[in-house]
């Protein structure tokens, strides 16, 4: 449906220069430590604080949807289940971190993360790494990694806040304060969102409302130049009206409630003038989900997932041109279920060791390689390898990248132990991922074009076997494609970015009904184009166009989902030195579309708000 339009837009933007990011950008997801972006040979997109504020997005998924290689689906109103697929991988094969803590839910069917409750109120930066990278991150990192961080404390004392109101009686309010005093720095913030929503069922008439509160806190104490304590916390409380998913979606009185707790406590030690650094940390995740057939009653069923992790990481820098990263991790995912007259409780222990070397044999070349071994108390061991390289012959103006990464995903506790469909003999899912790319800066740093080609093969993928009525390692999949990113800043006042991705993700299981079919909810083509202009009198205006091609809702490719195009406009203007008024219109042309069959989506919607900084 959108193929000809998409290709026309690509032909237009491919000839357009792009605004270059600086070579000083720092990334963490590639190796698990801070390093210059030009040093990493993997495909990474950064969504920084300025972009988050400029786009005015309330939902993290809306920002991720403009990133190349990302496909998403949502089952209805704001707060409903939202899933992210990276480069055509399963949505359960995306590893998600919040402030360095792994937040994939151990009580989920596939340990997936529900992005539906993750709003932008407390988020300051997002890194998206595309491609398998289990050497650094362990299980789940088959499609890639989404890492979100809250703001680091400001110098001095810096309070700020905002409030917004709009379509369907939606209100967003957030505030935070941070500061630094001597060797102590810290911050605390909170964000509240409520809406009457829309009907989650496409055929429904009853709106499904949603409430969300998110809080975050940080504290860092530097006992000396070499030793520091780092504490971080994140919390989400959510309350969602949703339409029953047992059968075709239809209006119902169902309610879902979530409490998510995320904690991090770490000690950092630097010795020998920083040539040897150590980090020891304890992280904790707890995800409590309760479901009610009717509000005001006791929960009818629910899940609780907990993951307690110990992490040690050491970094040795014997010479400026070489670093060795090594570590040990222990985690204990727990799973508890109640409902329908039964209860279940399961847990596992996972011990992991890894080592990664980064060397720069000569100016312009950086090579990274390493391995990881994970020992799971149920299925045994899994060893993964990875390597990547980045070469620049001209001080960062051109970067040629290549990477190979292996990924694995441990079976979830539900898939292993569920009384009705569990299979204790499951093997981990395994993947091999390859990509090659180039980043070219032009026009004295005012332009950047980035192209990447990728291929990933996944074996032993876990799926439900409808003949044996249990989970089994029955699937093989292959995904290949191309990603392109362009940015342009012809003058200081104008910033234009564009991205395109082609993803061919198909079933290779050999099963007659599914073999060769496209994987569900993964459109082949997607384009995003965004432009922002700062006027001389203070007004800022912008627009974003997102186009997504046709896809299918099911593995047999019998239920089509038509492609769609969404346009949004935005504006903001300062009122004095500390105040800013802003507003936006989403889905400007009131497009009728769906990301999941029979589930509703938002039409045209307008919002306005005010921001204050001191």
Q: What is the mean pLDDT of residues 480-484?
A: 98
Inform me whether the pLDDT recorded for 418 exceeds 60.
yes
Q: What is the mean pLDDT of residues 66-95?
A: 96
Which of 186-195, 340-349, 384-393, 432-441 is the least confident region? Answer: 340-349
CA distances (Å), origin 529, targets 64, 82, 258, 487, 571: 13, 22, 34, 10, 17
Inform me whether the pLDDT recorded for 12 exceeds 50.
no
Task: Give per-residue pLDDT as tens, 434-457.
Answer: 999 999 999 998 999 999 999 999
According to the model, what pLDDT value does residue 22 have? 38
Selection from 490, 488, 563, 574 nearest residue 539 by Cα:
574
Q: What is the mean pLDDT of residues 258-287?
A: 97
Pairing between β-strand 43-47 and β-strand 70-74 as defined by DSSP bridges: unpaired
Inform me whether the pLDDT recorded for 13 exceeds 50.
no
According to the model, what pLDDT value does residue 25 have? 83
Which of 5-19, 282-296, 512-526 is the least confident region? Answer: 5-19
Element (H, E) at 174: strand 170-181
According to the model, what pLDDT value does residue 17 have? 31
The angle subtended at Cα 107 by Cα 103 and Cα 110, nearest 5°, is 80
Please give the Cα distance from 529 to 567 (Å, whole number).
Answer: 9
* Residue 292 banded pLDDT, cuts 50, 70, 90: very high
* Topology (CATH) of 3-613: Maltoporin; Chain A (2.40.170)
Please give the Cα distance from 142 to 94 (Å, whole number).
Answer: 7
Domain boundaries, the chain: 3-613
Q: What tokens were used for 342?
A: 């039964």
Please give the Cα distance from 109 to 477 (Å, whole number).
Answer: 19
Inform me whether the pLDDT recorded for 583 exceeds 50.
yes
Q: What is the mean pLDDT of residues 365-380?
A: 93
Question: Strand ranges (DSSP E) for 466-602?
Answer: 470-488, 494-507, 525-534, 540-548, 551-552, 560-561, 564-574, 579-586
Element (H, E) at 281: strand 276-292
More reliable by pLDDT, 3 or 139: 139
According to the model, what pLDDT value does residue 493 have? 97
Selection from 287, 291, 293 nearest residue 301 by Cα:
291
According to the model, what pLDDT value does residue 419 have? 81
Q: What is the mean pLDDT of residues 32-39?
A: 90
Using CA atoms of 83, 85, 89, 90 in order, give the dihedral in degrees to the nearest 10.
0
According to the model, what pLDDT value does residue 266 have? 98
Inform me whether the pLDDT recorded for 146 exceeds 70.
yes
Q: What percent of the chain has pLDDT over 90?
A: 84
Inform me whether the pLDDT recorded for 570 exceeds 60.
yes
According to the model, what pLDDT value does residue 23 have? 37
DSSP 168: G
Inform me whether the pLDDT recorded for 293 exceeds 80.
yes
Whole-number mean pLDDT of the chain? 92
Inform me whether the pLDDT recorded for 20 exceeds 50.
no
Inform me whether the pLDDT recorded for 4 exceeds 50.
no
Task: Give per-residue pLDDT as tens, 205-216.
Answer: 999 999 999 999
Q: What tokens were used for 307?
A: 């993951």
* Residue 32 banded pLDDT, cuts 50, 70, 90: very high
Q: What is the pTM of this model?
A: 0.94
């Amino acid at each position: 449906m959108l193929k000809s339009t998409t290709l026309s837009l690509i032909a237009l933007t491919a000839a357009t220069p792009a605004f270059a990011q600086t070579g000083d950008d720092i990334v963490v997801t590639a190796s698990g430590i801070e390093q210059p972006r030009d040093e990493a040979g993997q495909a990474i997109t950064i969504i920084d604080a300025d972009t988050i504020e400029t786009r005015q997005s309330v939902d993290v998924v809306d920002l991720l949807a403009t990133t190349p290689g990302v496909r998403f689906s949502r089952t209805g109103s704001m707060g409903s289940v939202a899933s992210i697929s990276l480069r055509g991988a399963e949505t359960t094969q995306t590893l998600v971190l919040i402030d360095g803590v792994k937040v994939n839910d151990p009580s989920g069917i596939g340990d997936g993360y529900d992005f539906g409750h993750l709003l932008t109120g407390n988020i300051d930066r997002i890194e998206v790494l595309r491609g398998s990278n289990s050497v650094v991150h362990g299980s789940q990192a088959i499609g890639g990694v989404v890492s979100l961080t809250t703001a680091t404390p400001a110098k001095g004392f810096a309070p700020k806040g905002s409030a917004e109101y709009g379509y369907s009686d939606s209100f967003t309010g957030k505030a935070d304060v941070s500061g630094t005093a001597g060797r102590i720095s810290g911050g605390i913030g909170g964000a509240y969102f409520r809406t009457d929503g829309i009907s989650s069922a496409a055929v429904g008439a009853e709106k499904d409302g949603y409430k969300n509160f998110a809080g975050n806190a940080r504290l860092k104490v530097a006992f000396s130049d070499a030793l520091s304590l780092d504490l971080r916390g994140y919390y989400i409380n959510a309350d969602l009206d949703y339409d029953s998913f047992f059968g075709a979606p239809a209006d119902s009185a169902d309610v879902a409630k979530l409490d998510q707790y995320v904690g991090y406590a770490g000690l950092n030690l630097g010795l020998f003038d920083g040539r040897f650094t150590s980090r020891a940390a304890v992280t904790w995740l707890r995800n409590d989900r309760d479901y009610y057939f009717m509000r005001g009653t006791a929960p009818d069923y629910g899940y609780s997932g907990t993951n307690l992790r110990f992490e040690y990481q050491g970094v040795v820098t014997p010479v400026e041109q070489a670093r060795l990263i090594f570590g040990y991790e222990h985690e204990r995912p727990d799973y508890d279920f109640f409902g329908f007259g039964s209860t279940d409780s399961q847990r596992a222990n996972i011990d992991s060791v890894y080592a990664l070397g980064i060397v720069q044999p000569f100016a312009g070349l950086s090579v990274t390689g390493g391995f990881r071994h994970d020992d799971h108390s149920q299925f045994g061991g899994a060893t993964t390898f990875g390597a990547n390289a980045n070469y620049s012959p001209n001080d960062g103006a051109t970067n040629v990248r290549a990477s190979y990464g292996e990924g694995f995903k441990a079976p979830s506790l539900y898939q292993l132990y569920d009384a009705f469909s569990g299979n204790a003999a499951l093997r981990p899912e395994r993947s091999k991922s390859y990509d090659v790319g180039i980043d070219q800066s032009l026009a004295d740093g005012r332009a950047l074009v980035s192209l990447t080609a990728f291929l990933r093969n996944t074996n032993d993928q876990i799926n439900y076997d409808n003949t044996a009525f249990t989970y089994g390692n029955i699937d093989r999949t292959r995904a290949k494609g191309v990603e392109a990113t362009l940015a342009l800043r012809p003058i200081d006042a104008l910033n234009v970015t564009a991205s395109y991705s082609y993803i061919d993700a198909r079933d290779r299981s050999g099963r007659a009904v599914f073999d060769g079919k496209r994987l569900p909810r993964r459109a082949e083509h997607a384009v995003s184009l965004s432009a922002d202009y700062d006027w001389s009198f203070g007004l800022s205006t912008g627009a974003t166009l997102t186009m997504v091609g046709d896809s299918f809702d099911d593995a047999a490719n019998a239920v089509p989902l038509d492609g769609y195009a969404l346009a949004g406009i935005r504006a903001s203007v300062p009122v004095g030195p500390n105040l800013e008024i802003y507003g936006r219109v989403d889905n400007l042309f009131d497009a009728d579309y769906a990301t999941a069959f029979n589930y509703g989506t938002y039409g045209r919607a307008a919002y306005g708000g005010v921001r204050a900084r001191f």
